[in-house]
Amino acid sequence: MRIICVGISHKTAGVETRERVAFDPVGVERGLADIDARWPQAEAAILSTCNRTEVYIARAVHGYPREHELRQWLGDFHDTDATSLDNSLYTLTDAEAVRHLLEVTAGLDSLVVGESQITGQVREAYAIAVRAGTARSIMNLLFQSALGCAKHVRGHTQFGSSCRSVASLAIDVAAESLGDLTGTCVLSVGAGKMNHLMIRRLGDLGVASVTITNRSGERARQLAEQCGGQAIDWSCLPQWLSRADILVTSTASDWPVITRSMLAEAIPSRNGRPLVLVDIAVPRDIEPEAASLPGVKLFDIDTLERLLSAKAAPDATQQAAAEKIIRQQADSALKRLSIRQVAPTIGAMYQYMRRIADEELDTAIEKLATHDDTEEDQRIIRRALRRTIRRILHPAVTNLRRDSADNASAAHIAALRQLFGLDDGEEDIK
């Protein structure tokens, strides 16, 4: 079995490249369905966040898709030139892929190292793959190991205990542009979990009011009730650009929901008041050209990456403790994966041997039923057992003799001697 991860992250590409291959939840479902249709024998899961897109595959050693086919698929699915992604994509296999997923899930590979938001995102990616039927025995073990490892890290270390989310730290960075937030008006475009986290942090900083708009009016109303704000209809967004002091956004839109022209129309009625925009969506919700408008300060995920690195440095001792747990858990997961992979072969070997033994026993019983000679009975049973042994070993002996001139034969011989313990007591085989 091979495990493959093809991905792109904040460490390998800017947001302009990452957003080209980002998946929303519906896109993840479509992507998994397409992979399953193309390569039905493979298992698959897709993790897509504001900082990364990663496709995980488990397939037979000589199965499909191969690494280059998966990279090509990622480009084709998003109607983008796969070769243009070559410098940004990474490919990890087997042990590297397993450990990477554990590191990602525990927050070691996050933009804000140690943040716990990623664990929930991995859990959701796994749940979607389970519903799609593309997470079976190997993916189940892999993702359950990753989620269990993250829980173990949180429970046995202080890693990330004082670390906030990307959303809340993004607000801290943006708030520095306005200074005292007392009396300010916040507009949230989107009503998801990241919006909730940003609003909650703004509340801690003393903003006066929060207004929420979302394509789903019901979700906007629900979030407004939770945070003590007000919900407005999506069609009111342009006019509220004139009133807000801070705009935060994180939607699942495939294109910008706030354009430069929308903001430009709102600028004159703002009477010179500054407007801070915080966009942590991938793909981006705000056109990057909006940053050139007078009085507008735009923080997108790329800008925040540069600014957050100094604010979110984890404790070195606790990070080392987390890394040690991840190494141990990755080794354990790999062992369990190995056992699971070899189990069908072991079962097939037992069935093969039992079939031969049963056939020889049936023949021996027929012969034993024809006379009462004990010595002859013993000879019949002895011959039946020897025939059983010869029949069981015949395929292995034939293949070893056939491959005796091949360099691989030495490895086969060593493996057989180890598997059957032939060197333990130096038994003679007669």
Q: Is 323 exposed, middle or buried (0-12, 13-18, 19+ CB in 10 A)?
A: middle
Q: Which amino acid is present at 332?
A: S
Q: In what order do the strands lie in the sheet with 230-232?
A: 230-232, 209-213, 185-189, 246-249, 275-279, 296-299
Structural contact between residues 119 and 150, judged by C-beta atoms closer than 8 angstroms: yes
Reading the block at residue 132, the tokens are: 């799609």
What is the C-alpha to C-alpha distance for residues 215 and 30, in angstroms, rounded to an integer?
22
Q: Which residues lie below 8 Å from residue 184, measured CB to CB, with a gap of 6+?
A: 178, 207, 208, 245, 246
CA atoms within 13 A on the CB side of 229: 29
Bridge partners (DSSP) of residue 137 are none
Give the active site residues.
Answer: 50
Which segments of 244-402 are extended strands (E)?
A: 246-249, 275-279, 296-299
Cβ count near 193 (within 10 Å)? 15
Reading the block at residue 281, the tokens are: 């969506």
The string over 76-105, giving b where at least 16 C-beta atoms fall within 10 Å of a residue's C-beta and e elsewhere, is ebbeeebeebeebbbebeeeebbbbbbbbb
Long-range contact list for 334-339, CB < 8 A, 24+ apart? 334/94, 334/95, 334/98, 336/141, 336/145, 337/1, 337/3, 337/98, 337/138, 337/141, 337/142
Residue with tokens 């858990």: 329
What is the C-alpha to C-alpha distance for residues 5 and 58, in angstroms, rounded to an integer?
9
